[in-house]
Chains A and B, each alone.
Chain A
Amino acid sequence: GAGVSQSPSNKVTEKGKDVELRCDPISGHTALYWYRQRLGQGLEFLIYFQGNSAPDKSGLPSDRFSAERTGESVSTLTIQRTQQEDSAVYLCASSLGTGVVYEQYFGPGTRLTVT
């Protein structure tokens, strides 16, 4: 079946501009995660959605970052007034989200470059 998809695959933006990144999870997956991975670094958790519950935003680095998800479908991550330190690959993952079994399946990522 179809995996997690993300768009765009690459985004180059000027410092100070807003960007919107999109994630389409695997159909039927109620849980959705956003991560950031800077070059040569590990995964940095940003935000978690589970069904219609309030999202866990504990990983968002600043109020310039926000994310939305409608039901159990598409999610968008918005970064306002981008800074050069926002340059990274933004990864989305989804999982069935039942019990403690949450094998995550990652999308291909969006590579964001802020100039």
Chain B
Amino acid sequence: QKEVEQNSGPLSVPEGAIASLNCTYSDRVSQSFFWYRQYSGKSPELIMSIYSNGDKEDGRFTAQLNKASQYVSLLIRDSQPSDSATYLCAVGGSYIPTFGRGTSLIVHP
């Protein structure tokens, strides 16, 4: 059984701070890693994908992958209230990714 674990939160950070979201996975042969953002009542939106060990930066977002430790993280710099949402981690080694339950992020002014 492939598992993807995320802390459900909520993770509460002040505006302007760095939000750090973490995800661990069980399947060692996983090759693709994704972060989705889901606002309440909306569908998931892809924000980052990462395939190699290390960091990948896109604007205020940085995804970090460590395959040896089987974790992937998402850093959000200069957090804004509009970043308040649930963040889903998805991991795949086949064509059907496994999704975590998501971490709720609250950015307060």
**What residues make up the interface of A, taking CB atoms closer than 8 Å to B?**
31, 33, 41-43, 45, 48, 50, 56, 89, 91, 97, 100-109
Distance of B70 from chain A, by nearest CB (Å):
17
Chain A, Cβ-Cβ closest to B86? A42
A-B contact count (CB 8 A): 50
Number of B residues near A (Cβ < 8 Å) is 22
From B11-19, B58-66, B93-101, the one touching the partner chain is B93-101
Contact partner of B46 (CB less than 8 A), chosen from A41, A104, A108, is A104
Chain B, Cβ-Cβ closest to A100? B31
On whether the beta carbons of A42 and B51 are closer than 8 Å, the reply is: no
B32 at the interface (CB under 8 A from A): yes
Query: CB-CB < 8 A to B100: which residues of A?
Result: 42
Query: CB-CB < 8 A to B36: which residues of A?
Result: 106
On whether the beta carbons of B95 and A102 are closer than 8 Å, the reply is: yes
* CB<8 Å pairs between A and B, sample of 22: A31-B95, A33-B96, A41-B101, A42-B99, A42-B101, A43-B99, A45-B96, A45-B99, A48-B95, A89-B43, A97-B95, A100-B31, A100-B92, A102-B32, A102-B95, A103-B46, A103-B49, A104-B34, A104-B90, A106-B36, A106-B43, A108-B43
Knowing A43-B88, A91-B43, A108-B42, say if A103 contacts B34 (CB, 8 Å). yes
Most buried by A among B36, B44, B92: B44
